[in-house]
Structure 1
Amino acid sequence: MKLNSVIKKAFKISLWALLVSLFVILITNLMVVWVNKQELVFSKKDLSNTKVGLVLGTSKFLTKGGENPFFNKRINAAADLYHSGKVKHLIVSGDNKYQSYNEPRYMYQALIEKGVPHEAITFDFAGFRTLDSVVRAKKIFGQDSIVVITQEFHAYRALQISKKYNIKAQAFAAEEVPLKESFFVRSREVLARTAMYADLYILNTQPEYLGERQPINIGK
């Protein structure tokens, strides 16, 4: 009987812990969308002209083979904003931890192929996470105002980080990837939003690497 009582108590505790966790995940996801939806833009005509666009990195290729549609659509959006004059410069920010994996270099090459000039692109090789990319845009590259370029579901998190660090930001929503191709990535984002609130307001998590400032100075 005593063992059964312990098992029942452990089950109740586990159930309550699960319910609380689900509630926290739900609330943080609702909050990040509600608070930042006004800064998310779907059309170029609704986007304020801003000097610098921050292109958030992702792998060019899928693990199962073939090109990553998230990558291609972000590049298309970034190139379009540059050629339309909505931004004058692009920071390509992503992971570069391994010699064989270089998100910024792939983004740079793709943008060059779309006619964006070399001098209009800055590498950020230490954008290991969304937090790193956004914070480094200010602390390393000296930008207090940016346009974040990524898909809608990802943009809300970047906008919340921007608010925390007093960066005036809009996000331009790149074309979405069909749900059947993006379900895993979207599911992961649900948890990433909750983790972001912990990083920003509880743990005070900082970028993995900062280094020397490299301000981007752009004329009028």
Structure 2
Amino acid sequence: MRNLKLLIEYDGTNFVGWQVQPNGRSVQGEIKNAIKKIINEEVNLIGASRTDAGVHARGQVANFKCKSKISTESLKKALNSILPDDIVIHLIEEVGLDFHARYDAVEKTYRYFITRNKIAIGRNYFWFVKYDVDFEKLKKCAELIIGEHDFEIFSKKGTNVKNYICYVKKAEWQNEGGRLIFEITANRFLYGMVRGLVGAMIDVARGRFDFEIFQKILFEKFRDIEIMHAPACGLVLERVEYGNI
């Protein structure tokens, strides 16, 4: 038995998300079907992050176990020859049998992309924010979320986890002309958490509510204001880090 680790890029625009679902195309489903065609084995493909519908990835990691003796390079070439154009396998390597793409991840990094100017080309990869925003307020909010916090209120309803505590190692905004980029690294993420944080920070920066309210939402689970979740199209899973494997 072998355990193979994949590094995957995909455009999430036309997917229902990473995970196989009965109502449309999934990244996991497309890759599983392609693997079966090549090695004639039904595999359990485990992804590091269960990205939502419309969310993209440059650094998704997955693994599966198989009996096939096909070389990793031959498998990569074969997969890329039959997978749809919105999925690319960048690397396949053999790892220890105990490696688990999801549970062994020690940190993940996402970036969220915003354009201040309405665009046609690239619109599937940016959130067009038409409001005037105060960049200094965005930076102030980002600094506040660094560290260990309960992010339940920023996640989507229906999140089924034992606790909502995440440790945020890095959270910062960049201003590149007419584009804003938010980068966040944490030990774990809740369903919808990054989009909830981005939506709330934009609401502070555009004056919908004050920074003090953002503080109360984060530290006191203040629920009198509904959190706006930013659209999925601007979110990209950039990388997943592991310890020794």
TM-score bracket for this pair, using the shorter chain length: under 0.3
Scaled by the length of structure 1, what TM-score is found? Answer: 0.24
Kindly indicate which of the two structures has a greater share of residues assigned to helix. Answer: 1
Kindly indicate which of the two structures has a greater share of residues assigned to strand. Answer: 2
